Amino acid sequence: QVQLVESGGGSVQVGDSLRLSCRNSAPSISRHAMGWFRQTPGKEREVVAAVPWHGSGPWYARFVRGRFTISIDNDKNTVALQMNDLQPSDTAVYFCAAADVQATLIRGTADYWGQGTQVTVSS
């Protein structure tokens, strides 16, 4: 029903920006909250940002510190994560995710996952 495909990852220097994009290649009539998670070796996957299907009231993890912006475009079936002022601690595999409601993502779970895209920030 839902198939998520991420793009936009890469290797950058400290302070640079990246824009991740996620496309639902199999959209359905069902509404989904969307979010971004990240994971590094030896650590559990953690939620970065989450937004309801209608796009209002985005939520961000504390470590974002105002640097990231999540946006959803239902006309194009995409969700994006604009990341500015990237730091080495942001290095991780970033996953797009979908769930029934935003609260599901905020508590660290999801119903659907993308394959992940690598973000590497070097000093």
Report residue 106 as tokens: 């905020």
pLDDT in the model for residue 58: 97
Phi/psi for 2 (5° steps) reads: -120, 125
Are the beta carbons of 80 and 22 closer than 8 angstroms? yes
DSSP state of 106: H
10 Å Cβ neighbour count for 74?
15
Stronger pLDDT, 25 or 99, i.e. the higher one? 99
The model's confidence at residue 22, banded by pLDDT at 50, 70 and 90, is very high
Overall average pLDDT of the 77-103 stretch = 96
The model's confidence at residue 33, banded by pLDDT at 50, 70 and 90, is very high
Position 106: which residue type?
I
pLDDT in the model for residue 45: 96
